[in-house]
Structure 1
Amino acid sequence: MNDRQFGARLTADGASFRLWAPAAKRVDLLLERAQPMRRSEGGWFAADVSGARAGVRYKFRIDDEVDVPDPASAFQPDDISGPSEVIDHASYPWRASNWRGRPWQDTVLIETHVGTFTREGTYLAMIDKLDHLVAMGITAVELMPLADFAGQRNWGYDGVLWYASDSAYGRPDDLKTLIDEAHLRGLMVFLDVVYNHFGPEGNYLGRYAPAFFTEAQTPWGSAIDYRVPEVRAFAIENALYWLREYRFDGLRLDAVHAIAEPGEIAMLRDLSVAAGNLAAESGRHIHLVLENDDNRASALDAEEGPPRGKYRAQWNDDYHHAWHVLLTKESQGYYSDYQRSPLHDIACALGSGFVYQGEASAHRGGQLRGEPSGNLAPTAFVSFLQNHDQIGNRPLGDRLESIADPKAVEAALAVTLLAPMIPMLFMGEEWGSKAPFPFFCDFKGDLAEAVRKGRHQEYAWAYAKYGNDVPDPLAKSTFQSAVLDWESCNGQAGQQRLALVQELLATRQREIIPRLAGAAFGNADVADTGFLTATWRMGDGATLQLAANLSSSEMAHKLGEATGTPIWGGETNGVIPPWSVFWRLEAR
């Protein structure tokens, strides 16, 4: 049942328009002519227009002072400040009509940015690459945020109109076609959504609904006040909108630690319950994932059926940071928390999830961070070596492949792609792409200059070191440099890396995924030499065993005491080469 309060809805004889504008005295609906909207209790304005059809464009006029788009607009053909367009979501002829999704344990993610995934930068152009992803062993495509943003290029985290898929990538039916084609190939599709702030340009809510915001600030703007029922409903209905109207299989909620709600974040609980109800009603697998710097293990439950207040998993930044420090020796910023013993931190993440489970973080001024996580299922953690943040928030946007030993990266991949956590790649990582992914946006005027100034302040050391080599985030050429270099996957190095990743994911599909339901953490240990061992109890009672030389020196070591059957890496004759990884399974 679709009973959402926000946005335009088609009716039997036309369309119904609604706007929550508690600070407005008068609101007019602008179609071919202006017509007053009736005000009702709670600050709602409404108008029913007979004869209105899909495709009609409209705006709202507030107090005869400013014309604004619908904050729940389904589409903005002329960008964020233009008119909103009524979309008939029910008219799309879904082909994968029997698709119900896949269990969470099946998930192998690849994070993608629609605008740079192909030269064309559109939803429809992505379809031609889906067979490549299936052949690699990917089972789920995650799209960076699509909510309408200012201009023609953006990472997506500056979205202002949460319900409108950005017109730079195509029309709503194009997005549905992409999702439909993915489902026909057995691929899940996830969407990254941002509920901690609105973008800096095109947000008119403060004019007619200031109750949307608190006095608190996030790093990106005013905090949203989810204590207000209408505000909470706006976000929860948005999540259901993407899941229902576009049939996304799951959502990744960006930086929920920046949601300014004291104590337990009730909005997150309510959103999870609502998604769980949708999953139960529709018989679909729906998966919700968090990014949460607070490492709140209590928010997670990977094996619960439909989500009932909790979340399948969290992006495990700890896992990434420890590997990054080991592979690059970098120690600036948050990497400083992992420089003492990155090998130990990797073992901790493999053995119990988070590295920080209540310990003090020096980078955060001694603040205690995290909760114990070892009693969670390993699948409550999404593990990765690269993502948009960890590449794009570097001054040059350079990937791990450009700054680390390829053999070491391959060892890290062999651990990440076979461990019982949920693995994620960043687009192009499967062939070792070196295409940068720098920060880019398309603001104008004073806001553009403010972004430039902010970047210069944040990365002063980089501008002093690299000068004009640091890309200008506002330049179109910066965006163009981030377009994925598909041609490089045909070179020798690209083909070798593709073969490695394909073989690893085939092994995961064959040996790991069938045993993931009910799996549990075991033990992990690492020697000063760099020799790592770890075990997990799998859902069928088997023991998964990892042994790895995570150093640049060969070492004498016998794996003969391990009683399991080799599934990756083969055997050794007492000498383990540098950056070598061995996986075994011991049946119950």
Structure 2
Amino acid sequence: MNLLDVRKRSLGVSFNTEGQADIYVWSPIAKKVALVLPDKNKTISLAKEDMGYWHTSTTDIKPGDLYKIVLDDDLERPDPASLAQPEGVHGPSQAIDVNTFKWTDSNWNNIPLEDYILYELHTGTFTPEGTFASMEQKLDYLKELGVNAIEIMPVAQFPGSRNWGYDGVLPFATQNSYGGAEGLQHLVDACHQKGIAVILDVVYNHMGPEGNYLNDFGPYFTDKYNTPWGPALNFDDAGCDGVRKYFTENLLMWFRDFHIDAVRMDAVHAIKDFSATHILREMKMCVNELMQQTGRTHYMIVELDLNDTRFINPLEEQGFGMDAQWVDEFHHALRVTAGGDRNGYYSDFTGLQHLAKAYTDAYVYDGQYSPHRDKIFGIKAENNPGKQFIVFSQNHDQVGNRMLGERTSQLSSFEMQKLMAGAVMVSPFLPMLFMGEEYSEPNPFLYFVSHTDPELAEAVRKGRKAEFAAFHAQGEAPDPMAEDTFNESKLQWELLNQDPHQTMFRYYQTLIRLRKELPALRQLNRKQVEVVPNEEQQTLVLHRWHDNDHVVCVMNFSKTAQQVSLPSYSDSLTKVLDSAAPEWKGPAASPDQADSTSAVTVQPESIIIYTNHA
């Protein structure tokens, strides 16, 4: 039982083709474990096996039955590996058979990672209904926009129906208010029919506070380390083997049983593990085995705040083998360059020079002293390809962690929004959008929860107010528990029919199309990138090439027009996009042709993209 079989579930309740249930529970501290069926008034005893596992095979439980796990004849709890919680995190679990779904994606092949154009979204606020089914109705819209990979914020069961998803407490159960397991399977199948890959955000660094009963079963947590969210999950302390298996099984389930194409793993720098084989490396080896057996391709993407290539280096180089990572530093440098705040972690960023460094080096801090951290920070990422880095001008964190949840649309001019979008899309990295930015959605993305524990709800309210006490001049922090806070964060789809939102949508469409069509933008060769920043002008010239195809991107972050010289090579250049052109509601268009012999006039807060092969 201590060996992991990547082909099937070996935790919780699973059904074979004959309808017999296999039940496995890990509880090394229990003296007795049983499963109770309240609607059938039946108790099923489990037998103790090695390594703290309890097991039985039975036909007494059927798909659809509600059940709870009983520890030592006393404590009734939801199943830690429950696949469904129809009555929420405190209610009974529901037995379901994930293998009965009729998939139609047998011809689907995951998109090559280097071709990903990501779109991060939150199920509850992406549509008015806030469900997987309603998300399916927007897939044609996403296709029309040009994105080919949606990144769904966490869907593991959380308290109530309103949450970002990072308070999940039952990692195997798909949020009931979103549509549950079958709803997610149906969505993934529909995405694959449309040629869209699905990335699922998963949280393996902490558990939410409400409905977190794992400690009743075994040593899921350790006091060896602390995290910003409380005790650390136990990946390397006594009794950790069952915990490591629990989360590895969870990862394999999403790939195998839900056909998820990639995961985005939340804040892996908060995973504390000094084992000889780090848990991420172990997970990667298991995923490799799964891919070998199924022939399907899956990617592991991490959120990482360490600038440490060990996480993304290949297994054969003693790395953890992660396929890609978010790069917050590109975002920070871009925000400061665009005139954003310089407080908190932004204080480390100078603006233009750091943006130029991000384009060439991925990490801004790769061995320099970081004033904000008060230490030398980072390592150079010289040999890691561009496809390993995901960049963005906004995401759920950078928007939602502001007191008022303002998007770029509320913080920057229309012209600067277009420039920032262009700056992301022409990078030699993978671009990611945050839902609604493509049409300049004005609604905020606020922090919201729906805890059912009154004391916890009040603690969250007070904590949010205290966090932003220094910002009292901006007003009160919105109440995270209020339903209005959640509703204010929903996208306003009707705006797509109005300007300037319609114009911004067409602009993003054009940017994405150029990204796909121009070889110099599509090929993510970090060795074929030149950047020339001009601090005095606040301009940046980005030159990328592939074989004989060249692209020159001229960016002006200042509030006045600037004369900018182009790189000196023989070809004349043709303009393929000018964010300042009247068609994008800009002030004036630059000439259609340019070369290295004369300077180009670049309008304030704008980007021009030239190519030698138009």
How does the TM-score come out when normalised to structure 2? 0.90
Aligned length: 579
Aligned match of 1:480: 487
| Letter of the 2:501 counterpart | G
Using a 3 Å threshold, how does the CA distance of structure 1 residues 85 and 512 change in structure 2: closer, same or farther? Answer: farther
Using a 3 Å threshold, how does the CA distance of structure 1 residues 26 and 110 change in structure 2: closer, same or farther? Answer: same
Deviations 1:347-400 (A, max 9, x none): 011111011112222222x13322101332122110100100001000011111
Counterpart CA distance in 1 for 2:326 and 2:113 is: 14
Aligned match of 1:501: 508
From 225, 232, 242, the equivalent of 2:244 is 232
Counterpart CA distance in 2 for 1:200 and 1:491 is: 42
Q: Is the 8 A contact 1:520 1:536 kept in 2?
A: no
Q: CA deviation at 1:563?
A: 4.1
Counterpart CA distance in 1 for 2:441 and 2:361 is: 31
Farther-moved stretch of structure 1 (132-141 vs 50-59): 50-59
Q: Pairwise mapping of residues 106-505 of structure 1 onto structure 2 (< 5 A)?
A: 106-227=115-236, 228-262=240-274, 266-300=278-312, 309-338=320-349, 341-364=350-373, 366-443=374-451, 444-462=453-471, 464-468=472-476, 470-505=477-512
Q: CA deviation at 1:106?
A: 1.4
| Letter of the 1:416 counterpart | V
| Letter of the 1:171 counterpart | G
- What's the % identity of the aligned pairs? 35
Q: CA deviation at 1:186?
A: 0.5
SS at match of 2:143: helix
Quote the RMSD (CA, aligned, Å).
2.2
Aligned match of 2:96: 87
How does the TM-score come out when normalised to structure 1? 0.94
Counterpart CA distance in 2 for 1:362 and 1:460 is: 24
Q: CA deviation at 1:57?
A: 1.7
From 48, 73, 76, the equivalent of 2:82 is 73
From 540, 544, 548, the equivalent of 2:555 is 548
Using a 3 Å threshold, how does the CA distance of structure 1 residues 418 and 265 change in structure 2: closer, same or farther? Answer: farther
Counterpart CA distance in 1 for 2:51 and 2:321 is: 31
Counterpart CA distance in 2 for 1:541 and 1:559 is: 17
Q: Is the 8 A contact 1:299 1:311 kept in 2?
A: yes
Farther-moved stretch of structure 1 (112-121 vs 516-525): 516-525
Aligned match of 1:19: 25
SS at match of 2:12: coil
Q: CA deviation at 1:584?
A: 3.9
Farther-moved stretch of structure 1 (275-284 vs 394-403): 275-284
Deviations 1:393-414 (A, max 9, x none): 0001111110112211211111
Using a 3 Å threshold, how does the CA distance of structure 1 residues 214 and 575 change in structure 2: closer, same or farther? Answer: same
Q: CA deviation at 1:519?
A: 5.4
Q: Is the 8 A contact 1:298 1:371 kept in 2?
A: no
User: Structure 1 regions of 5+ residues with no counterpart?
Assistant: none
Counterpart CA distance in 2 for 1:250 and 1:272 is: 12
Counterpart CA distance in 2 for 1:185 and 1:514 is: 24
Counterpart CA distance in 2 for 1:39 and 1:330 is: 58
Counterpart CA distance in 2 for 1:280 and 1:344 is: 44
Counterpart CA distance in 2 for 1:585 and 1:286 is: 34
Counterpart CA distance in 2 for 1:581 and 1:517 is: 20
Deviations 1:164-213 (A, max 9, x none): 11001013111111111111110001000000001111111112202543
SS at match of 1:492: coil
Q: Pairwise mapping of residues 526-545 of structure 1 onto structure 2 (< 5 A)?
A: 526-528=533-535, 529-538=537-546, 540=547, 542-545=549-552
Farther-moved stretch of structure 1 (547-556 vs 347-356): 547-556
Using a 3 Å threshold, how does the CA distance of structure 1 residues 517 and 524 change in structure 2: closer, same or farther? Answer: closer
Q: CA deviation at 1:301?
A: 5.1
| Letter of the 1:259 counterpart | I
SS at match of 1:440: coil
Q: Is the 8 A contact 1:75 1:172 kept in 2?
A: yes
Check if 1:8 corresponds to 2:17.
Answer: no
Using a 3 Å threshold, how does the CA distance of structure 1 residues 265 and 534 change in structure 2: closer, same or farther? Answer: farther
Aligned match of 2:606: 580
